[in-house]
Amino acid sequence: MTRSFRISKKDALDWFRFFASLPEGETPGCRQQEIALAAFWQIETAVETRRAEMLKAVPGLKAVTPDHPEGVDWTPSLPACTLFVGPESRFPAGCRSCLLGSGLSAIRKTNRCNAACPFCYDYGLLNSIPPIGEGMWEIGGTRYREEDLSLLFALQKKPTGIAYVYLEPFMEIEKYYGVIRRFHEAGVHQHMYTNGIGVTEEQLRSLGEAGLDELRFNLGATNCADAVIRAMETAKKYIPQVGIETPMTREFNQIFREKKNRILATGIDFINCAELHLNANNLPNYLGENMYFCRLGYLSPVISRDLTLSLLKTASEEQWPVAVHDCSNHTKFARDLNLRAKEGGWFGQSSYGCEFETIPYEAFLPVLEDPDFTFVEEEPLPPGFRPGDIVL
């Protein structure tokens, strides 16, 4: 008899309560893992089925594909790397580089931050992030001095774009101008992330003069603070593309909608709505939310991308003058497939995967206990796999 694993929500809940009660260090056995994977598949299928209907309701939805990097009208059958609404010219060039170019080439310098956001991947560890080193920059996992860049450009193929990350660059932004100038002279697109706290017009002018192409404000880090909104407006005077990139949370969605008109009036180009994904550091801040695994990789609150799709619909219906980007887990999945292909990886190779050493089964109890969350199709577990059976 062929085993069916269209596990029911009730059976999944009973098993996950058992998995969550296992002592630390004890993991489910092989057959128990089959049950767990069947439940994750059911949860993700239910999430994606509902989202397919939400996507159909977004007018003017565009897809970025390998054949149409500028964007083309979306249909469900397209091999879409990501989705957006709004003017194609305002979709961030850094995202096209990340998705279709040489990937997200990160440059790391600053190991400090002036905020402690609950969605931060390093939440609770911000005072113990290892330094890169005085006068040093981490590029591709290797340490460089600024004067080494000319040799690097001469010997290796230049990336289509690079991003300044880790953690808040404006903590020591003056150190960045020279490196930005060198990458600008080499013709490499550059974007930078900031929470915008304490940003001055002089710093923004210097970044523009050095050749920074794109500045992304994590507006959710300050709950859409008025000072940061003003900084975005100032940044547009000096930097070609300016936008927002923030994980979509209930709190950010609410305050953004309250200040929407003021934010759009700054003249920014794009809003990257990042699907919030969790690791062991920030997961405790969101326990109680309905969770799902995307392709058994990123773990996210279901509400995060739901909020994004709702925002895309509003933006399109109201014809906002910005590109609003659905930077979802699926986008990250596509990004890694592209990167491995560009690096000559074997067919199917990707670094996309789960960021937990052991699966936090307790995080999935709320979605299985939610009476409003239903599976698309259910069947009884076969004998030997049912709650109460001895399954190893």
| Domain contains 367 | no
> What CATH number is associated with residue 230?
3.20.20.70
Is residue 91 over pLDDT 60? yes
Hey, what are 349's tokens? Answer: 């190779």
Averaged pLDDT score across all residues of the chain: 96
| Domain contains 351 | yes
For strand 323-327 and strand 298-301, is the pairing parallel, antiparallel, or unpaired? Answer: unpaired
What is the model's pLDDT at position 55?
98
Treating both helix axes as pointing N-terminal to C-terminal, what angle do 30-56 and 9-21 enclose, rounded to 10 degrees? Answer: 130
The CA-based angle 358-364-367, given to 5 degrees, is 165
The 10s digit of each residue's pLDDT in 329-357 is 999 999 999 999 988 999 999 999 999 99
| Domain contains 42 | no
| Domain contains 380 | no
Range of the domain at 121: 58-357
| Domain contains 24 | no
Mean pLDDT for the stretch of residues 25-53: 96
Is residue 210 over pLDDT 60? yes
Per-residue pLDDT band at 392 (split at 50, 70, 90): low
The 10s digit of each residue's pLDDT in 98-150 is 999 998 899 999 999 999 999 999 999 999 999 999 999 999 999 999 999 99
What is the model's pLDDT at position 333?
97
| Domain contains 207 | yes
Report d(CA 287, CA 64) in Å as an integer: 33
CA distances from 168 to 4, 43, 93 (A): 49, 36, 21
Q: Sign of torsion, CA 201 202 203 206?
A: positive
Is residue 378 over pLDDT 50? yes
Helix residue ranges per DSSP H, the chain:
9-21, 30-56, 93-100, 149-155, 177-185, 201-210, 226-235, 250-258, 260-264, 302-317, 329-342, 365-369
Report d(CA 165, CA 160) in Å as an integer: 17
Per-residue pLDDT band at 3 (split at 50, 70, 90): low
| Domain contains 377 | no
Per-residue pLDDT band at 388 (split at 50, 70, 90): confident
Cα 220 from chain centroid? 14
What is the model's pLDDT at position 1?
35
Per-residue pLDDT band at 4 (split at 50, 70, 90): low
How much of the chain exceeds pLDDT 90, in percent?
A: 93
| Domain contains 364 | no
**Total structural domains in the chain?**
1
The 10s digit of each residue's pLDDT in 183-204 is 999 999 999 999 999 999 999 9
